[in-house]
């Protein structure tokens, strides 16, 4: 019972065990029972003898008829004294009882039971002769933070829908509850737009991709890359996520990072006469949208399409990072617009533009989320959530100014950094962020005031995909660092994590996750000597953090930094 990840709040083991039998059942209100059944799908649990009876046909077909087909071996009841994600599980030799504050709590109770079963419960079907004992005891559990997230960049490398759905499943296994999808950047636009179809027709693919690393030689693979989600795909992803207590947070990163948008609609650029391609290399591009009202109207239409497809969108990320404002300063029309608004600098205009978009989103029922540059340039709506990727200090300033924040700092939350500086590692943006670094992370520094601390919604890890071309590499980068993130954001500290990890990796093995083994890559996970070779020392993470902290104090807050 002690090797659960994330560690539950209260754990009280008792002697003996309960064993699920074939045709075990769940009884209770349909929404709660369905959530338990989803988490324990491998058990193929039927309906109980009260509550829902949606599976009459199957029960009726079983020997003995509907009356005796299922034994109600798990009962789940609502407990309104608990928070919506909280639950209690009691296992005794005769039965399993769950009390849940809501469907999310019931799902998490199911996930905890799955971890209490043998690791084969993480396979998609039971192996022949499988037995499902669960140790007796009681668990009471509730999360420390409400935002326990993963960010996935699907622009630099598109991840097909199946990878997104699989990641959602793995987030739910770990009681992580936010999937921030970075849907638009210089290297690709990834959503269908019915109103502005050139976005996906032109913006979703590039002819080739660089194989250059940082300051290395410029070479290309000469292979086309692309893909996008239809609006129907987005609806499916959101519904799949909701059933697993995961909220999808879409991001359209503007006004910088705009090459893909401008490849499709060059008239939106700060210099409408410039022509752009979907970018085929990494780094910061000067391509920037104009901040004129026509751009806000264009984006408002696209935001509305995305919100309609995803269903309720409580949070919508609009980027705001790494903007090169030179083209704004060089445009007579944009300068005239700035002056007409009484704004002193292009940085102020950057803030005004993002505030305008946040107002649009408020009308669509969404709170805007931004990277920290948008906070530093000022003028955000009060309800805008800030992601301080450039470090803890800028996060503190945003919190002190009254913004909710989600910890996202490069160290230790950028999982595109290598876990070791070993030549065996595959190429990464830099070194080194270990599982232990993540487990030791404290989202609320002890020096913060209670008011500042109260602004921390939680934390999330970032999977930027310049060097993550596919799902196999994604597994390697995400896990087990993501397991540590789950422990930090749910349990609140690393206690017991290292001891629990070996058993948990057995679960991930059964699931089929190609995580990075703690001892280093398997032979076929190494970088080799070709384009995926490890290139040490390009960017050491400590150096990046020093540089970023300096930038957040610089007068020109929008000056781009290392990406």
The answer to whether the CB of 90 falls within 8 A of the CB of 18 is no
Per CB under 6 A, 563 contacts ligand ACM:
yes
The answer to whether the CB of 157 falls within 8 A of the CB of 467 is no
Give φ, ψ of 529 to 5 degrees.
Answer: -115, 5
Q: Rounded to an integer, what distance in angstroms lies between the CA atom of residue 54 and that of residue 44?
A: 14
The secondary structure of 233-284 as a DSSP string is: HHHHHHHHHHHTT-EEEEEEEESSS-HHHHHH-GGGBSSTT-------S-S-
Is 322 an annotated catalytic residue?
yes
- Given 322, 373, 404, 416, the catalytic residue: 322
- Nearer to ligand ACM (CB atom), residue 91 or residue 370: 370
- Nearer to ligand ACM (CB atom), residue 369 or residue 439: 369
Give the pair of three-digit tokens for residue 347: 């940085």
Q: How far is the CB of 401 from ligand ACM (least distance, A)?
A: 19
- Nearer to ligand ACM (CB atom), residue 145 or residue 371: 371
CA-closest candidate to residue 181, choices 149, 139, 142: 149
- Near ligand ACM by CB under 6 A: residue from 141, 186, 322, 452: 322
Site string for ligand ACM, 467-496 (x = CB under 6 A): ------------------------------
Q: Rounded to an integer, what distance in angstroms lies between the CA atom of residue 320 and that of residue 351?
A: 9
- Given 151, 196, 257, 534, the catalytic residue: 257
Task: Determine if residue 512 is left, alpha or beta; phi over 0 gives left, psi from -120 to 50 gives alpha, anything else beta.
Answer: left
Residue numbers 335-394 binding ligand ACM by CB under 6 A: 371, 389
Give φ, ψ of 153 to 5 degrees.
Answer: -85, 110
- Given 34, 141, 153, 185, the catalytic residue: 185
Q: How far is the CB of 482 from ligand ACM (least distance, A)?
A: 18
**Which burial class, exposed, middle or buried, applies to 529 when counting CB atoms under 10 A from its CB (0-12, 13-18, 19+)?**
exposed
Residue numbers 73-112 binding ligand ACM by CB under 6 A: none
Q: Which residue has the CB atom at the shortest distance from ligand ACM? A: 321
Q: How far is the CB of 319 from ligand ACM (least distance, A)?
A: 8
Strand segments, DSSP code E, in 255-401 are: 315-319, 367-371, 385-387
Per CB under 6 A, 395 contacts ligand ACM:
no
Is 404 an annotated catalytic residue?
no
Q: Which residue has the tokens 């129907």?
A: 232
- Nearer to ligand ACM (CB atom), residue 121 or residue 428: 428
Q: How far is the CB of 551 from ligand ACM (least distance, A)?
A: 11
Strand segments, DSSP code E, in 325-433 are: 367-371, 385-387, 405-407
Per CB under 6 A, 321 contacts ligand ACM:
yes
> How many residues interact with ligand ACM (rule CB under 6 A)?
5
Q: How far is the CB of 373 from ligand ACM (least distance, A)?
A: 8
Is 327 an annotated catalytic residue?
no
Q: How far is the CB of 413 from ligand ACM (least distance, A)?
A: 10
Number of residues that make up the chain: 563
* Half-sphere exposure (Cβ direction) of 63: Cα atoms closer than 13 Å: 2
CA-closest candidate to residue 371, choices 453, 252, 248, 539: 252
The answer to whether the CB of 210 falls within 8 A of the CB of 281 is yes
Q: How far is the CB of 476 from ligand ACM (least distance, A)?
A: 20
Residues that bind ligand ACM (CB under 6 A): 321-322, 371, 389, 563
Catalytic residues: 185, 257, 322
């Amino acid at each position: 019972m002690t090797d659960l990840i994330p560690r539950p709040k209260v754990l009280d083991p008792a002697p003996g065990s309960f064993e699920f039998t074939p045709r075990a059942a769940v009884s209770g209100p349909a929404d709660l029972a369905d959530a338990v059944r989803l988490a324990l799908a491998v058990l193929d649990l039927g309906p109980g003898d009260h509550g829902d009876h949606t599976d009459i046909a199957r029960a009726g077909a079983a020997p003995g008829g509907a009356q005796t087909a299922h034994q109600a071996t798990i009962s789940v009841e609502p407990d309104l004294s608990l928070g919506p994600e909280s639950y209690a599980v009691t296992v005794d030799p005769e039965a399993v009882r769950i009390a849940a504050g809501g469907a999310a709590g019931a799902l998490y109770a199911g996930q905890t039971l799955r971890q209490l079963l043998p690791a084969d419960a993480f396979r998609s079907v039971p192996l022949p002769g499988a037995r499902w004992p669960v140790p007796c005891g009681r668990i009471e559990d509730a999360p420390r933070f409400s935002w326990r997230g993963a960010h996935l960049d699907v622009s630099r490398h598109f991840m097909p829908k199946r990878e997104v759905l699989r990641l959602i499943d793995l987030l739910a296994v770990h009681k992580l509850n936010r999937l921030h999808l970075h849907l638009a950047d210089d290297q690709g636009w990834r959503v269908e737009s019915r109103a502005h179809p050139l976005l996906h027709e032109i913006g979703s693919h590039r002819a080739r991709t660089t194989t250059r690393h940082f300051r290395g030689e410029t070479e290309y693979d000469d292979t086309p890359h692309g893909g996008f989600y239809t609006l129907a795909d987005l609806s499916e992803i959101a519904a799949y996520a909701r059933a697993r207590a995961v909220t999808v947070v879409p991001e359209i990163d503007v006004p910088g990072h705009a090459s893909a948008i401008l490849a499709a609609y060059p008239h939106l650029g700060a210099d409408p006469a410039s022509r752009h391609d979907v970018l085929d290399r990494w780094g910061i591009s000067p391509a920037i949208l104009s901040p004129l009202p026509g751009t806000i109207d264009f984006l408002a239409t696209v935001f509305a399409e995305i919100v309609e497809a995803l269903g309720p969108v409580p949070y919508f990320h609009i980027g705001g990072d790494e903007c090169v404002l030179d083209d704004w300063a060089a445009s007579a029309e944009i300068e005239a617009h700035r002056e007409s608004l009484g704004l002193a600098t292009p940085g102020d205009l950057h803030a005004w533009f993002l505030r305008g978009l946040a107002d649009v989103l408020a009308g669509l029922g969404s709170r805007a989320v931004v990277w920290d540059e948008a906070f530093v340039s000022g003028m955000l709506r009060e309800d805008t959530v800030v992601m301080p990727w450039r470090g803890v200090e800028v996060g503190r300033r945003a919190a002190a100014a009254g913004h909710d924040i989600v910890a996202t700092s490069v160290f230790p939350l950028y999982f595109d950094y290598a876990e070791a500086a070993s030549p065996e590692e595959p190429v990464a943006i830099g070194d080194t962020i270990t599982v232990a670094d993540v487990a030791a992370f404290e989202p609320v520094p002890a020096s913060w005031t209670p008011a500042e601390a109260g602004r921390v919604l939680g934390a999330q890890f970032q999977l930027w995909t310049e060097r993550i071309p596919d799902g196999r590499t994604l597994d390697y980068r995400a896990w087990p660092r993501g397991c540590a993130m789950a422990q930090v954001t749910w349990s609140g500290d690393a206690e017991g994590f290292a001891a629990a990890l070996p058993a948990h990796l057995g679960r991930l093995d059964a699931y089929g996750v190609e995580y990075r083994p703690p001892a280093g890559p398997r032979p076929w996970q190494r970088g080799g000597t070709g384009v995926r070779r490890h290139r040490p020392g390009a960017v050491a993470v400590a150096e990046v953090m020093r540089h970023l902290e300096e930038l957040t104090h610089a007068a020109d807050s929008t000056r781009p930094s290392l990406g």
